[in-house]
Structure 1
Amino acid sequence: MSAPGLTTVAAWDPPLLDGAVYTLEAVTERLPSWRARMDAVARSLADAECWSGPAASVAATALGEVSAVVTAVTGALGNSLDRLWETAREVRTAQELAGQALAAAAASGLTFDGSGGVVAPPPAPAPADATSAQLEDHYTELAERAAATERVAALAADAMRAAARAAAAAAESADPLAALGGTGGVRPAGFAGLAALVGAAGLLSSRPVPPPPDTAPDEVASWWTGLSGPAQDDLLGSSPAALGGLDGLPAWARDRANRLVLERVLADAPWEQQVGAQAVAAEIRAEEAAGRPVQLWVYDPAGDLAALAYGDLDTADDVGVLVPGVNNTVAGDLHALGDDARTVADAALAAAPAASVATVAWLGYRPPVGAGLRQALGRSTATAGGVALAGDLAGLAAARSATGVGRAADPRVTVLAHSYGTVVLDEAGDLPGRLPVDAVVLSGSPGIEEAHASDLEADEVYTAWSPADPIAWSGWHGDPPWLRQFGATPLPVDPDTLHWQYYDPDRPTAAAMGEVVVAAREAD
């Protein structure tokens, strides 16, 4: 007789289980993006001046409680899914091995007893008058039957061990949900009951600790999305300096943290930091006075670093990051760089009026300036800048992927590098891993080390240069990217364009850059 356990395992339906786990995973993966949108509503209500009083307080509290509960449920489902996928893998292994064991047993004339042991028919005795050749054949057959029995027994044992592991993993998958009433016990009758279970399980009691600054952006994004809205708000208020520069956080969170740091610098900081802080604050005030969204994406007063996003980096479908060259400082040039960023954004919207665009004036590195201009002849400053640029781009990609769905999780990103900024981009591309950009624009470049456009790791590479720009044909840092053999797509440039005029709104290059940002210009 066949062992009931083995035949039952052989009849399992792994695709059915896979489909169920896939469905649960799809639901779980959508919870963070849904909660992120709800948290955005809560933040907008908190900042709104049109609604205040008891009703507003109740609404804010309710949204915070929903965020906390959804966060706890998402974490529990994620932990449960890890065990369910292990269950699915072991189920498939057990089912395949059980089928092989039964097929091998049938082919060899073997059966199974009630405990699953292999039963072989009793061997026929050797004929009394058998010749030596017949005896050899007889005992060879017995040896083959014994070997077949051993193989079938091993397959059956492996199948049942895999089935046992599947059962154990399935049982463990229920543990993360038990505290929430998800498996057995008392199930919550509604949201209030679920919230009570979350609180009783102690899932809201501890304040999280920010990860170290060198944590991978993907890990940071996963950690952040695992926090509820109230927990995020609490951390931003208590540890803004630790969070403002953490690659992997969404732009709104970095903006809030960096603005708190900016307020502290303006209130009480050395004079050398005050100058840059005042320039940043003035640019933010000007944008907000004009009714335009602006985010302080990067701010390091001690390092004299800042990056302002014109638009919403968390929701824009098309993002342009402007990387400037030498002789640019936060105090003296942030406003002009912001003008360039707005020019590119305006050009992008002119090319695609329905587009959602954000551009960044990125001074996330300290370009050579003044007496330090000789550093522009080397690459050490560009190397440090490349690390910072790659980190910010990876952080943007990780943050969007963690909370977005579809296009929201994968915006088109274009890096527009000018002059020494092209060397910074070159260095960023040399770092391990692929640079998360779709297109790059190299304008007024003093040359780069890469031999071909494809080495920059972007699907589209554009270049702009002018005969009136000696930097663009200097070749100080490598071959000019406008050479035909480099393989970049040239953008239109007036022949009298000077080194600092590529972003001039009255010249054709800026309009072409905007087209690149919204993918309205075809690359060669």
Structure 2
Amino acid sequence: MVTLPQLRDAALGGLDRAVAEWTELAAALDRLVGRATTGVGGPLRASHWAGADAEAAARGLAERGEQVRVAAQEARYVVAVLDTAVDQLRGAQHDLRAGLDEAAAAGFTVFDDGRLEAADPAARADAAVRARQFELERRLAEPVRKATEADTHCAETLARLYPTGTADWADTAADGACVTALTGLDQATIPRGDPAAAAKWWAGLTTSERAMYLAAYPAVLGALDGLPTEVRDRANRVALAEAKAALLAELATTRAKRDAADRTGDAKLRFRVTELKDRLAAIEALEATLRSGDDMYLMGFSAKGDGRAIVAIGNPDTAAHTAVYVPGTGAELAGIGSHVSRMRSLWLAAQQVKDPGEVSAIAWVGYDAPDTLVHAMVTSYADNAAPDFVRFLRGVGVAQGIDSNNHVTVIGHSYGSVVLGQAAHQSGGLAAKDIIVVGSPGMHVKRAADLHADPKHVWVGAAQGDVVTDIGSGAHAPIVNHGGIKRRVTPDDADFGANRFTSDGAKGHSEYWSTSHSASLDNQAAIVAGNYEDVRLIWGDRP
């Protein structure tokens, strides 16, 4: 129990220093994870070391990395607890000292146990004086009570933040729930839907406040467009680990229920077990993708439904050129590796152009894509995706500082081009300088200029034998009338008004990022890097 003298005389600056030290520890642990990835993992991958020993080394590195990541998150919890303690104790101390000053001014002596006595013996029997005495005693008791309550709750929460010896994200998530309840942070105070407002809010927080919000709401901050990419990456990796831990726990429980169920219940539980295993496999695919390079940033993540992920190669906040790729039909979390692989090929190709500058390539699997070609014949998926994509692009610009770092290229493949078309239409234009579409079934506009963009900065590729432009055109390509002849216009049509670049050697719908038939890839790399004169055109008017 906190006593009146303890609260009155407490030197709370020591707690401030503890908050600062734990904040730095959390940051140092985050840096250590990065050093392990780049300093150890990078050379291991570059060595092409293979076999059982190589796999064991990689697995061990990943496990140690997760342990350090857990330690960083737990350190942020300590920051949140200590910051809450010092805030509540300082408030209680302020109220107590104000009460003590008032008691002294009213002519009372205050004892260490909180009792008051009138300094003038003659006044001690006066009813008004005694009433004032009791009022002040109650006033002094209240901050002492609050300080005791804060001390007890904070001590209990700190006591549960002990190391488990393993990367136990289920335990870490439970710790986080306790810390969030203690701090009283309200996620309603976090601005959403406006990247500029989110960036301003984050910039206005102190270092310890940022640690508190990262500890309490990693999934919310990870999805917050406008925040720095490194912050989103850190938050999303915690959210990813906690989601995986929750799914593993549910899988174990569901399996136990299945084994104990009768035939009727067993069928439903078996279906749920399969569903959980599929979702876990998708998460593990994302984890493997993130381990595949030391320059990966997880800018978005959700385990709901088919799952979503936004993965950047290179930090877009500091890049001179940024490409954002939107995949098409069938895109989901389980296939994130193939989409990131395409952007890895583009990122590497962009390094080869003359004077490329720093480049970032982002795979935006951030929407519910159609599952089949039948589903891809409707526009609702693109309509639903468009606002999220527009907000994401604005967030990229805000985090970059749009006035000085504004060369963003958006790339839509297949149904992804429909998403770009709807996004441009709904927003009055995309926050991007260049638009590339490949294998497009149509964008619901008749001309490139209808995308609210300079047609010189609209580019299209169509490989030999890509039938999607024909199959999907009936749903997504508008009809035009030329000399009494009606036909549908897809972006690869000369009348659309875009620059069509060569894709020599690429065949079908999926070779636009092929390294063995690299014409399409090289042309996209030149566009992304702003080297328009190197783009090989079939027709068009380059900038």
Aligned equivalents of 1:520, 1:40: Cα separation in 2: 42
Secondary structure of the 2:412 match is strand
- The aligned residue for residue 471 of structure 1 is 468
**Residues 28-62 of structure 1 deviation map (CA, whole Å, 9 limit, x = unaligned):** xxxxxxxxxxx9999468523889xxxxx9xx99x
Q: Is the 8 Å Cα contact of residues 255 and 297 (structure 1) preserved in structure 2?
A: yes
- The aligned residue for residue 284 of structure 1 is 290
Secondary structure of the 2:509 match is coil
Secondary structure of the 2:374 match is helix
Deviation at residue 500 of structure 1 after TM alignment = 0.7
Q: Is the 8 Å Cα contact of residues 210 and 242 (structure 1) preserved in structure 2?
A: no
Letter in 1 for 2:386: G
Deviation at residue 382 of structure 1 after TM alignment = 1.2
Aligned equivalents of 1:450, 1:232: Cα separation in 2: 44
Secondary structure of the 1:339 match is helix
Q: Is the 8 Å Cα contact of residues 193 and 391 (structure 2) preserved in structure 1?
A: no
The within-5 A match list for 1:67-216 is: 209=187, 211=189, 214-216=192-194
Letter in 2 for 1:440: I
Q: Given the alignment of the two structures, is residue 347 of structure 1 paired with residue 344 of structure 2, yes or no?
A: no
Q: Given the alignment of the two structures, is residue 435 of structure 1 paired with residue 438 of structure 2, yes or no?
A: no
Letter in 1 for 2:490: P
Aligned equivalents of 2:191, 2:368: Cα separation in 1: 19
Secondary structure of the 1:430 match is helix
Structure 1 runs not aligned, ≥5 long: 1-38, 52-56, 69-204
Identify which of 524, 532, 541 aligns with 1:521. Answer: 532
Judging changes above 3 Å, is the alpha-carbon distance between structure 1 residues 505 and 241 closer, same or farther for their aligned structure 2 residues? same
Aligned equivalents of 1:260, 1:42: Cα separation in 2: 13
- The aligned residue for residue 395 of structure 1 is 395
Q: How many residues align?
A: 326
- The aligned residue for residue 510 of structure 1 is 521
Identify which of 285, 296, 299 aligns with 1:297. Answer: 299
Secondary structure of the 1:390 match is helix
Letter in 2 for 1:229: T
Judging changes above 3 Å, is the alpha-carbon distance between structure 1 residues 398 and 41 closer, same or farther for their aligned structure 2 residues? farther
Q: Given the alignment of the two structures, is residue 320 of structure 1 paired with residue 304 of structure 2, yes or no?
A: no
Q: Is the 8 Å Cα contact of residues 468 and 495 (structure 1) preserved in structure 2?
A: no
Letter in 1 for 2:465: A
Q: Is the 8 Å Cα contact of residues 448 and 458 (structure 2) preserved in structure 1?
A: yes
Aligned equivalents of 1:257, 1:376: Cα separation in 2: 33
- The aligned residue for residue 340 of structure 2 is 338
The alignment-based identity, stated in percent, is 29
Secondary structure of the 2:532 match is coil
Q: Is the 8 Å Cα contact of residues 326 and 413 (structure 2) preserved in structure 1?
A: yes
Letter in 1 for 2:323: G
Deviation at residue 430 of structure 1 after TM alignment = 1.3
Deviation at residue 366 of structure 1 after TM alignment = 2.0
Q: Given the alignment of the two structures, is residue 234 of structure 1 paired with residue 212 of structure 2, yes or no?
A: yes
**Residues 430-473 of structure 1 deviation map (CA, whole Å, 9 limit, x = unaligned):** 12343211101110000121122122234411000134111124
Secondary structure of the 2:235 match is helix
Deviation at residue 416 of structure 1 after TM alignment = 1.1
Judging changes above 3 Å, is the alpha-carbon distance between structure 1 residues 381 and 213 closer, same or farther for their aligned structure 2 residues? farther
Aligned equivalents of 1:429, 1:254: Cα separation in 2: 25
Secondary structure of the 2:309 match is strand
Aligned equivalents of 2:367, 2:207: Cα separation in 1: 31
More relative contact order in 1 or in 2 (CA 8 Å, sep 6+)?
1
Judging changes above 3 Å, is the alpha-carbon distance between structure 1 residues 496 and 275 closer, same or farther for their aligned structure 2 residues? closer
- The aligned residue for residue 439 of structure 2 is 444
Secondary structure of the 1:417 match is strand
Secondary structure of the 1:254 match is helix
- The aligned residue for residue 180 of structure 1 is none
Secondary structure of the 1:48 match is helix
Identify which of 421, 425, 436 aligns with 1:426. Answer: 421
Letter in 2 for 1:512: N
Aligned equivalents of 1:434, 1:447: Cα separation in 2: 17
Identify which of 476, 496, 504 aligns with 1:494. Answer: 504
Deviation at residue 273 of structure 1 after TM alignment = 3.1
The within-5 A match list for 1:370-409 is: 372-401=372-401, 407=404
Deviation at residue 212 of structure 1 after TM alignment = 5.5
Deviation at residue 230 of structure 1 after TM alignment = 2.6
Identify which of 323, 329, 333 aligns with 2:332. Answer: 329
**Residues 223-252 of structure 1 deviation map (CA, whole Å, 9 limit, x = unaligned):** 111112332122111111221111221211
Q: Is the 8 Å Cα contact of residues 444 and 472 (structure 1) preserved in structure 2?
A: yes
Identify which of 258, 265, 268 aligns with 2:236. Answer: 258
Q: Which entry has the higher C-alpha Rg, 1 or 2?
A: 1
Deviation at residue 381 of structure 1 after TM alignment = 0.7
455-464 or 292-301: bigger deviation: 455-464
Judging changes above 3 Å, is the alpha-carbon distance between structure 1 residues 251 and 336 closer, same or farther for their aligned structure 2 residues? same
Aligned equivalents of 2:24, 2:509: Cα separation in 1: 42
**Residues 271-323 of structure 1 deviation map (CA, whole Å, 9 limit, x = unaligned):** 24322211111111122xxxx21111110111411111111122111111111
Q: Is the 8 Å Cα contact of residues 210 and 243 (structure 1) preserved in structure 2?
A: no
TM-score (norm 1): 0.57
Letter in 1 for 2:452: E
Letter in 2 for 1:231: E
Structure 2 runs not aligned, ≥5 long: 1-22, 37-71, 84-182, 251-275, 478-488, 534-541
Letter in 2 for 1:341: M
Judging changes above 3 Å, is the alpha-carbon distance between structure 1 residues 218 and 500 closer, same or farther for their aligned structure 2 residues? same
Aligned equivalents of 1:494, 1:468: Cα separation in 2: 12
Q: Is the 8 Å Cα contact of residues 222 and 233 (structure 2) preserved in structure 1?
A: yes
Judging changes above 3 Å, is the alpha-carbon distance between structure 1 residues 390 and 48 closer, same or farther for their aligned structure 2 residues? same
Secondary structure of the 1:296 match is strand
Q: Is the 8 Å Cα contact of residues 343 and 361 (structure 2) preserved in structure 1?
A: yes
Aligned equivalents of 2:354, 2:347: Cα separation in 1: 10
Aligned equivalents of 2:203, 2:190: Cα separation in 1: 17
Secondary structure of the 1:462 match is strand
